[in-house]
Structure 1
Amino acid sequence: MSAKNAEAKAHQEHSSPVNKYKAAALVKMSPQLLEWLTKYAAKSGHSRKLECVKGPDGELLFDAEALKSFSAYLAEPWPAEQGKRPNVPSGIEQEIQEEASFGCVICSRPKGEFAHIDPVHNSKNNHPHNLIYLCPNHHDEFDRQKLISKSDVERTKRQVLDARTAIWRAHAGLLDEILALIKQLQAVNVATQKEHFPALDAVKDELLKHIKAHALAPGLKKTAPEFAKKLEVALGDNAAPVEKVIDERAKFLEETGLVDCPLCDGSGSHNNWECPACRGEGTVAENLVGEIDLEPYRQEECPLCNGSGNHNNWECPVCRGIGTVDAYSVNEIDLSGYKQAECPLCEGSGSHNNWECAFCRGTGSVDEGKLEHFDPSDYEQAKCLLCKGRGTHNNWECPICRGVGKVDAVALTDIDLSPYQQTKCPVCKGSGSHNEWECRFCRGVGTVDVAALEHFEPSEWEDEDSDS
């Protein structure tokens, strides 16, 4: 089967209505969210809903092109009142919480917030692929790029989405989809060995649960009874079910003459898209491997990011952060929309309010095509809520406005003042003086932020008292 034939077959399949599970796998949104989007308009003030039809048995059916079009619509800027963020609708909130198992994807704490991977100042969209659930602490660290980097969050989000997609494919009841499910388990298993995020452990458990459900399902027992039986035994091995299941998949492929797709290596994904050679299934018949023409998919350096995967400090929109593109597509890529223009917010300095400019991410320039989405009202200045415009807090530079005394008005609703509530200084007991000097812990104010108490070590001050 040639790559062109595979693409034609994929197009033929996608031109027919697909059920909710295949639809979910196609756009990487849950069947529950897709159903919600058929009933409610996601964007405030808009009437557009996701189109669908009902099959003879009442099952919702979707058109593949309509799904892709609607996903693109969700990725466009969302309407919002001046100076405010676009509201995240309840259906998408539920989606983001469920994919994170209702806890922060970094630490699994139950109370979280909806964080934008591509900051809302830039993206202005609440597409579920642009949102992730983080606890307040990790949300703050991510926004400030302290301990949690954008690449960490993107990688975790991608792993979770890929795993959920494999689950939805498996729900379609096809043998190749449970093989893809196990292949994804293998990928997540490798990922958890490299970096230990609770969200990945939760996804691995979820994958095992769905693999077990499908191994016991009548459909698989009818299609591949021996494989289903072996999977059931492997899943019952409490010592190492993951390794046993992965091993049974490898044996089954060998016995049935299937191999991992030579283009996507069994993942079903190529350059962050559905693999065109295997149609996202991850496997092909071994005797057809020689007919798959991989030349069109030979990788060449991305002409926009020159192989870095990064464009203006963001994931490159042409290669989706990979750094390479298929050879056949190089001449079709239109770079005109990516010509650089001076950032209208920082006027080329790369800095805004003593921070990296949020609109250009510190580069000082932006794509010309992005200028149409720049709304000056998003960056209107307002007095800092913490320092009341003084620029100082407890005799230090204000940590909210970094000494400027003002902040973007749109950011006011995101400012959490609870860590800055005042409490009596534990060193000077509120006097502002310690050992006849200005108290070093509170800088003579007599009070400190409640958050500062986390860093207070009494033993350090006992030594100082004894020295005096």
Structure 2
Amino acid sequence: MAFKTLIEAAMHLGLRVETVEHLTKSCPKPGEDRKLKCMATETGPLFDEAELAAYMGYLAQPWPKPKGGGRPHIPKVISDDVKDEAHYGCAICGSMDNGEVAHIEAVAQTLNNAPANLIYLCPNHHAKYDLGFKPSSNISIEVVRAAKLLKRSSRCRILKFEANAAQLLNSMLHFLKDAEKKMGAAADEDHRSIYVAEIKGLMASIPDLTKAAEEAAKKDLLTTEPEKVLAKAAPKLALLAAALTQGATESDIRSQAKSLVDEVDEILIEIDEVDCPHCGGRGQTGLVGDLCSYCGGSCVVTQDKHDAYDRAELDEVDCPRCGGRGQTGLVGDLCGYCGGSCVVSRQMAEDYDPTAIDEVDCPRCGGRGQTGLVGDTCGYCKGSCSVSRDAAEKYDPDEIDEVDCPHCNGRGQTGLAGDFCAYCGGSCVVSHAKRKTYDPSSIDEQECPHCQGRGTTGLVGDTCALCGGSQVVTAARADAYAKKRPRSW
């Protein structure tokens, strides 16, 4: 059984120390009493790793809705934590005006108010992301997840060296150097904006940090020569950081960050840490932000641990249910076995029994997730492809607002050429209301005057030259035919 200190637990959970302390005293979910368990010692509380993992799972489970309905409330301690993580500025652009706590995975579907599912965005990016769920929005879920991972990585580094101002300053300068490099290599504007915002947030904290390093130097608390040299450079670093104005452009920010790092590049303390090879320095894996099983969420490991990394030695294999994708169905439902983690333990893989999962093929679409000829989302499973056994047993086709299209009799096509039905558009079905209002005379289709609606001409069944086998034509085409006479076709 492995135990972690308060700061290590905060790094593990990706939260502020104050938030972790609050969770040991109070449950964030209304009406529930689950608190984060810890063991009191003379040197401070200790946290069992298994309990930390279990509590993260608890926070990610659906939160209770208010009695009057609607979305579950986000407690202040968690919303404040999310704001602090983003340096109180939008995680994407850094704007500090009227920010909003947004959900990464849609709260309407997940009811998940866990900090790992929340991010701080300005109203503009919140609206563009459309509450973090519409794939067609201007800001993709990949961009938002990338921003969340960067914020979490930055916080973990800060927590790791919080007790030593000089080491923290060094770590932040290393992070700035890496962020400035990645900003220049970003694939698109959205990802570049994420690094710009983080650099702005980090540079804003440097003046206070350099002051703390100076104070530590005055008290002879610095133990290594590089730390002392860095502390001497603190005043100049503070001036460089303070020169960054609120309205600075991306070019200004990048230039200032580079100047700041270049100032001490030759004397930066060589801390024995590199990005974790398992998670790529993100600290998380999977679709739901599981803590990396190699670095434990720290984002970094020692060089020796990096060199010794062997994925085969980790107790992780691709989930046998989703093939390591973390999702099932056409609409990206989180896998019912791994819960979106993408991986499971070897024991879980061996124990996997598809019949033990409360999922069966949707009786409406046969597990396809779609109906009709044009791939309409199934009206029963909504594209999930599967439903619970109870839902399958309760399935009643008469309760779904769908009936066979009266124009094509449910085939989705008309004519010999297989044209999509002009009334249902190939869906094969229509709503009851649309069925009642069906009026064939309102559809711009007339029997083809060249083949008299047969779709073919001649003794060998040649495809009609006028309708192309559709058997019908528009009124305008029929009128034109009547005027030009058959010989012109």
Q: Which residue of 2 aligns with 1:306?
A: 323
Tell me which amino acid in the other structure corresponds to 2:145: E
Match runs of 1:100-119 below 5 Å: 100-106=86-92, 108=95, 110-119=97-106
Conservation of the 8 A alpha-carbon contact between 2:101 and 2:120: yes
- Whether 2:62 is the aligned partner of 1:48: answer no
- Matches of 2:390 and 2:266 in 1, distance apart? 47
Q: How far did 1:39 drift?
A: 3.6
- Whether 2:219 is the aligned partner of 1:224: answer no
Q: Which residue of 2 aligns with 1:151?
A: 142
Residue deviations 1:225-276 (CA, integer Å, cap 9, x gap): 314524746835565445764896797576x8x4636735983737463463
- Whether 2:196 is the aligned partner of 1:205: answer no
Residue deviations 1:399-449 (CA, integer Å, cap 9, x gap): xxxxx9xxxxxxxxxxxxxxxxxxxxxxxxxxxxxxxxxxxxxxxxxxxxx
- Matches of 1:75 and 1:196 in 2, distance apart? 31
Conservation of the 8 A alpha-carbon contact between 2:226 and 2:269: no
Tell me which amino acid in the other structure corresponds to 1:111: N
Q: Which residue of 1 aligns with 2:18?
A: 32
Match runs of 1:19-418 below 5 Å: 19=6, 21-52=7-38, 56=42, 62-80=47-65, 81=67, 83-106=69-92, 108=95, 110-134=97-121, 135=123, 137-140=127-130, 142-145=132-135, 146-173=137-164, 181-182=172-173, 184-193=175-184, 194=186, 195-196=188-189, 200-208=195-203, 216-217=212-213, 218=216, 222-227=222-227, 229-230=229-230, 232=233, 235=237, 240-242=256-258, 245=261, 258=272, 260=274, 263-264=277-278, 267=281, 269=283, 271=285, 273-274=291-292, 276=294, 280=298, 282-284=300-302, 295-297=312-314, 303-306=320-323, 308=325, 310-312=327-329, 313-314=331-332, 331=349, 334=352, 336=354, 340-342=359-361, 362-365=383-386
Percent pairwise identity? 24
- Matches of 1:329 and 1:249 in 2, distance apart? 47
- Matches of 2:265 and 2:344 in 1, distance apart? 30
> Gapped runs of 5+ residues in structure 2?
242-254, 393-400, 402-430, 432-489
Report SS of the residue matched to 2:80: helix
- Matches of 1:359 and 1:172 in 2, distance apart? 56
- Matches of 1:333 and 1:30 in 2, distance apart? 37
Rate the CA distance shift 1:66–1:83 in 2: closer, same or farther, 3 A. same
Rate the CA distance shift 1:141–1:123 in 2: closer, same or farther, 3 A. closer
Q: How far did 1:119 drift?
A: 1.9
- Matches of 2:74 and 2:226 in 1, distance apart? 47
Conservation of the 8 A alpha-carbon contact between 1:167 and 1:207: no
Tell me which amino acid in the other structure corresponds to 2:198: V
Report SS of the residue matched to 2:197: helix
> TM-score, length-normalised on structure 1?
0.57
- Matches of 1:56 and 1:244 in 2, distance apart? 41
- Matches of 2:156 and 2:390 in 1, distance apart? 31
Which of 1 and 2 has greater Rg? 2
Q: How far did 1:28 drift?
A: 0.7
Rate the CA distance shift 1:358–1:123 in 2: closer, same or farther, 3 A. farther
Tell me which amino acid in the other structure corresponds to 1:168: L
Q: How far did 1:36 drift?
A: 2.8
Report SS of the residue matched to 2:108: helix
Rate the CA distance shift 1:176–1:55 in 2: closer, same or farther, 3 A. same
Residue deviations 1:158-195 (CA, integer Å, cap 9, x gap): 22222222222221449887766555445543453324
Rate the CA distance shift 1:264–1:175 in 2: closer, same or farther, 3 A. farther
- Matches of 1:191 and 1:117 in 2, distance apart? 23
Q: What is the number of residues matched between the two proteins?
A: 357
Tell me which amino acid in the other structure corresponds to 2:237: L
> TM-score, length-normalised on structure 2?
0.55
Conservation of the 8 A alpha-carbon contact between 1:170 and 1:181: no
- Matches of 2:100 and 2:163 in 1, distance apart? 32
Residue deviations 1:301-359 (CA, integer Å, cap 9, x gap): 65444355654444866889797x5997885684746674346999968589x996899
Rate the CA distance shift 1:370–1:98 in 2: closer, same or farther, 3 A. farther
Report SS of the residue matched to 2:302: strand
> Gapped runs of 5+ residues in structure 1?
1-10, 373-380, 382-403, 405-468
- Matches of 2:115 and 2:40 in 1, distance apart? 25
Conservation of the 8 A alpha-carbon contact between 1:176 and 1:282: no
The Cα RMSD (Å) is 5.2
Conservation of the 8 A alpha-carbon contact between 2:370 and 2:383: yes
